Homo-oligomer: A and B are copies of this chain.
Amino acid sequence: MATIKDIALKTGLSPTTVSRVINNHPYVDKTKRKKVLEAMEELSYVPNSSARRLRGQRTNTIAVIISRIVNPFFSHLVDAMGEIATEEGYQLVLCDSRLEKKRELQHLELLKTKQVDGVILASLQNKWEDIEPYTRYGPVISCNEYDSKAQMPSILCDQKQGGYMAVKHLIERGHTKIACAGGALRIELTRDRYRGYEEAMMEADLPVQEEFVFSSSYGIEDGKEVFRRIYAMENRPTAIFAGGDEVAAGIISEAKKMKFRIPEDLAVVGFDNQPIAELIDPGITTIDQPMKYMGTRAMQVMLDMVANNREVTYTREILPLELVIREST
């Protein structure tokens, strides 16, 4: 394989000049630059990035850990991150944990083995004490999910407020028997939404019924299953707050199959404001999350840390949520 020396020999220029051209230094004479570029082409010279990275200890690569890319919330978040990364000359390594702690730690190993410059945790399955050891190898930040004990920068929304807004809206619509279907309760984001639900119920002197609380609901099929369980109840809720628009869409789809009228027989609130919330019939009332902005900010914060070798400091950016009312309530 051709080396810088070969190009220097061929062009009669010094290796330093050749290197300057390869690394895009300014102030290189135009004729010399042209000569070098031509020689590179002729000799099929390839600047070896692994070698360059090894010297610079930089990979220009950021890992993003999500649960699964088929969840539209994550595909929109990753799309926004990718846009910024590409603009700044970085690559994005897509890592799905599929909600498994072990897979998440395997992905964090990329930092230890210097295959990525930093890790953005958009999904967070492990406890802080298991994540923390990786932070000595490079920046780790969280985005969307969070851990209140974690000493890392986080871009997040006030999920408790989101749950509160959704359920208060249902109470204002006259509902008293309100169900809730979120993710796994070991996840802080899920617990916070649930606390918002509880707070709104307590404020209105309404009881939280244990059988109305569904957990580990993530996608369309989970939503269908939640409806089937509601349908089988003797004393059914008249409204439900779902932790995602796909879960809400699954509930609505199965409810319509069983001739339930939405919202008359069952009112439904989703979360995220994904495109599907507007498309299905009835449109889904939902809590809008600023997915694009959240992804953009997270990548900006990460690249700033990587490019400027910033010390990791504990900061939190809390972004606003908004209730979007449609026909499902």
**A→B interface (CB under 8 Å):** 44, 46-51, 53-54, 59, 61, 63, 68-70, 72, 75-76, 78-79, 82, 86, 91-96, 103, 106, 110, 112-115, 136-137, 220, 246, 249-250, 253, 256, 275-276, 278-281
Contact = CB atoms under 8 A, between A and B. Distances in A.
Contacts of A249: 279
A103 B86 contact: yes
Minimum-distance CB pairs A-B, first 5: A49-B113, A281-B281, A94-B94, A50-B54, A75-B75
Contacts of A93: 61, 91-94
Nearest to A71: B75
A53 B51 CA distance: 9
Contacts of A136: 44
A118 to B, nearest CB: 14
Given A49-B114, A93-B92, A75 B82 contact: no
Contacts of A53: 50
A256 B110 CA distance: 49
Contacts of A95: 91
Nearest to A54: B50
Nearest to A47: B113
Contacts of A75: 69-70, 72, 75
B50 A59 contact: yes
A92 B93 CA distance: 6
Nearest to A115: B49
A53 B113 CA distance: 11
B61 A69 contact: no
Contact of A69 (B49, B78, B253): B78
A135 to B, nearest CB: 13
A72 B220 CA distance: 14
19 contacts: A44-B136, A46-B112, A46-B137, A48-B113, A48-B114, A49-B114, A50-B53, A50-B54, A61-B93, A70-B72, A75-B75, A86-B106, A91-B115, A94-B94, A246-B275, A249-B279, A253-B279, A256-B281, A276-B276
Contact of A94 (B44, B82, B250, B281): B82
A49 B137 CA distance: 13
Given A70-B76, A82-B94, A220-B275, A51 B49 contact: no
Contacts of A115: 49-50, 59, 61, 91
Nearest to A111: B46
A46 B78 contact: no
A82 B94 CA distance: 8
